């Protein structure tokens, strides 16, 4: 049965609604609450974080914010200043893409006010239909609002994401990016705008640790993308004078005591839902709704020093001559896998799980050693990306043949994975299980794997990508699996789909299946004096010599 949501890690439904018209606790300012005479450029009107946001002229800006911290207000002022300027002075068209129609109307309401007060223009808000041309040549109409300026530029607020974001030229702001229907498509599209001298602003509160917006934040913080990052939690806005602005609008007298009580009232509206409070106010992403494992649980079962071997094959390898593919695969195995496999304990049983992919995602192989204490310890994790079918077969066979006391393996036989699973079954016999991943398989096998993290009877490498793969395991209709639409960006910038989590679950299931052992240890080895090399080492050296003399062809 699904676990009840833990309010300390699962955010649940929002407490502070995103709609501009929503009733908000504690007299929080809502969209459109702008006094008619307010001059945003007057001294003391903009809060420090708003002024810093506008002053940042970076082509790529990223705002990680708490709710109602005033960044959309500041961005509307920036759009006004840009659109009001002559094109010779850097003026551009500006586009605001919100997640709701109401947000777009709120935004252009700000722009119209600023046009009158700052640019001295009577900019009327026009409602119109934006024609969006799709890649297939068809068009659709999107409800939109705009304000035109004497410079010839305009500010447009679209009610939903256009398919053809690349067709927009100018400054583009994507607000509440984490809540757009197809977040990743939005983020992947905007970079093309830079070609024509445009600028991009991405603003959002968090919507879970696995949301692509959080991936973008992580990449930006790691300097993998050139976004300028602005952190704007609710506490920073309060420190910068948010409550003073509330008092100004409401006609109240500010006191320090009243400010402390006001912030406590806002936070008190969350009750025991601390995860929701941290996400909506403190800009800390919550665990995914229905997550089967917490980050803390996964990290407790991760260990430094376990190797993760990753190999991304070039597109050219697929069409290379067969001998080249064989030699490339053998060289990889000898250079990257052999030193690790040579360290395995030959007295302990080993099993493995494999999750298959040919393109897009990656193939993951997780071999476990079954310890005397019955703890399943991953001895390495192998990831193959863009590897041709025959190369995957060669690498897998090399690895499995060298697992001491190989006591079973389960391979993903879904779709194209059926080829490799069948080949392994033909090679290694009854010790291999070809698994058609299905709801029935997940229902029968995933609970034990999840329980192993609670019992700490599974050990994985200390690796962020592997951790995030396991964070992708969620309750879907009461069954633990990686949701079909789940995707994260790995440290290498490529997409992942919980690959090592599935491979780990398959390997763990193999360890519980009591499958027949494939390998054996000769009795002569058991009586071998200490320090004397076993015969298999001499045979392996002979095999290597034959391989070299044949020019790298054993298959």
Domains of the chain, by residue range, sit at 48-282, 295-512
Asked whether the beta carbons of 104 and 29 are under 8 A apart, the reply is no
pLDDT in tens, the chain (555 residues): 344 455 555 555 555 455 554 544 445 444 455 666 666 666 667 899 999 999 999 999 999 999 889 999 999 999 999 999 988 888 999 999 888 888 888 898 889 888 888 777 766 788 778 777 666 667 777 778 889 999 999 999 886 665 656 667 889 999 999 888 766 676 666 666 777 778 899 999 998 877 888 888 888 887 878 899 999 999 999 999 999 988 887 888 999 999 999 999 999 998 888 888 989 999 988 876 578 898 899 999 999 999 999 999 999 999 999 999 999 999 999 999 999 999 999 999 999 999 999 877 899 999 999 999 999 999 999 999 999 999 999 999 999 999 999 999 999 999 999 999 999 999 999 999 999 999 889 988 998 999 999 889 999 999 999 999 999 998 887 788 998 888 888 888 888 999 999 999 999 999 999 888 765 444 444 454 544 555 445 444 544 454 444 444 433
E strand spans, 37-85: 60-65
Residues 6+ apart with CB under 8 A from 82: 90, 91, 92, 94, 153, 171
Buried b (16+ CB within 10 A) or exposed e, 183-213: bbebbebbeebeeeebbbbbbbbbbbbbbbb
Homologous superfamily (CATH) of 48-282 is P-loop containing nucleotide triphosphate hydrolases (3.40.50.300)
Question: Which ranges constitute the DSSP H helices of 433-485?
Answer: 439-455, 464-471
CA distances from 302 to 366, 448, 466, 501 (A): 14, 18, 9, 13
Q: 542: burial class by Cβ within 10 Å (0-12, 13-18, 19+)?
A: exposed
**What pLDDT sits at residue 289?**
59
The pair phi, psi for residue 63, each rounded to 5°, is -110, 115
Can you name the CATH fold of 295-512?
Answer: Nucleotidyltransferase; domain 5 (3.30.420)
The pair phi, psi for residue 341, each rounded to 5°, is -65, -30
CA distance 212 to 187: 8
CA distance 178 to 208: 9
**What pLDDT sits at residue 320?**
93
DSSP 379: -
**What pLDDT sits at residue 535?**
47
């Amino acid at each position: 049965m699904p676990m009840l949501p833990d309010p300390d890690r699962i955010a649940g439904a929002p407490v502070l609604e995103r709609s501009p018209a929503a009733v908000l606790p504690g007299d929080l300012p809502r969209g459109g609450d702008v006094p008619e005479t307010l001059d945003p450029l007057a001294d003391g009107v903009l809060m420090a974080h708003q002024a810093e946001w506008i002053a940042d002229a970076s082509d790529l800006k990223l705002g990680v914010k708490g709710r109602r911290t005033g960044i959309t207000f500041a961005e509307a002022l920036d759009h006004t200043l840009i659109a009001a300027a002559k094109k010779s002075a850097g003026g551009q068209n500006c586009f605001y893409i919100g997640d709701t129609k109401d947000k777009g109307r709120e935004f252009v309401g700000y722009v119209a006010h600023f046009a009158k007060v700052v640019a001295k223009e009577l900019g009327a808000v026009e409602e119109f239909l934006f024609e969006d041309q799709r890649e297939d040549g068809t068009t659709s109409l999107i409800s939109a609002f705009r304000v035109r300026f004497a410079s010839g530029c305009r500010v447009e607020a679209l009610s939903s994401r256009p398919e053809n974001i690349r067709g927009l030229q100018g400054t583009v702001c994507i607000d509440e990016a984490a809540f757009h229907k197809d977040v990743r498509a939005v983020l992947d599209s905007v970079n093309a705008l830079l070609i024509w001298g445009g600028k991009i602003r991405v603003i959002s509160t968090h919507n879970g640790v696995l949301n692509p917006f959080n991936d973008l934040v992580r990449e930006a913080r790691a300097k993998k993308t050139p976004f300028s990052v602005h952190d704007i939690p609710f506490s920073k806005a309060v420190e910068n004078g948010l409550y003073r602005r509330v008092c100004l609008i409401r006609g109240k007298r500010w006191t320090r005591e009243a400010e402390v009580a006001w912030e406590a009232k806002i936070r008190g509206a969350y009750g025991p839902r601390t995860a929701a409070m941290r996400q909506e106010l403190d800009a800390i992403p919550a665990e995914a709704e229905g997550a089967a494992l917490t980050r803390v649980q996964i990290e407790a079962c991760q260990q430094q020093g376990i190797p993760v071997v990753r190999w991304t094959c070039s597109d050219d390898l697929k069409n290379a001559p067969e001998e080249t593919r064989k030699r490339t695969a053998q060289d990889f195995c000898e250079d990257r896998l052999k030193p690790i496999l040579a360290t395995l304990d030959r007295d302990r049983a080993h099993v493995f799980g494999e999750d298959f992919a040919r393109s897009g995602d990656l193939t993951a192989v997780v071999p476990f050693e079954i310890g005397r204490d019955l703890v399943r310890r991953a001895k390495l994790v192998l990831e193959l990306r863009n590897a041709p079918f025959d190369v995957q077969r060669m690498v897998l066979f090399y690895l499995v043949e060298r697992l001491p006391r190989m006591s079973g393996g389960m391979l993903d036989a879904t779709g194209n994975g059926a080829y490799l699973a069948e080949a392994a079954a033909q090679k290694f016999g009854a010790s291999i299980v070809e698994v058609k991943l299905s709801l029935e398989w997940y229902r029968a096998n995933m609970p034990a794997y999840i329980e192993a993290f609670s019992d700490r009877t599974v050990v994985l490498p200390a690796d962020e990508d592997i951790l995030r793969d396991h964070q992708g395991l969620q309750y879907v209709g009461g069954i633990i699996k990686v949701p079909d639409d789940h995707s994260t960006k790995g440290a290498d910038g490529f997409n992942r789909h919980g690959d090592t989590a599935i491979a780990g679950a398959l390997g763990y299931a193999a360890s519980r299946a009591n499958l027949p052992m494939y390998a054996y240890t000769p009795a002569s080895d058991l009586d071998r004096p200490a320090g004397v090399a076993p015969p298999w080492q001499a045979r392996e050296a002979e095999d290597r010599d034959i391989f070299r003399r044949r020019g790298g062809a054993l298959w």
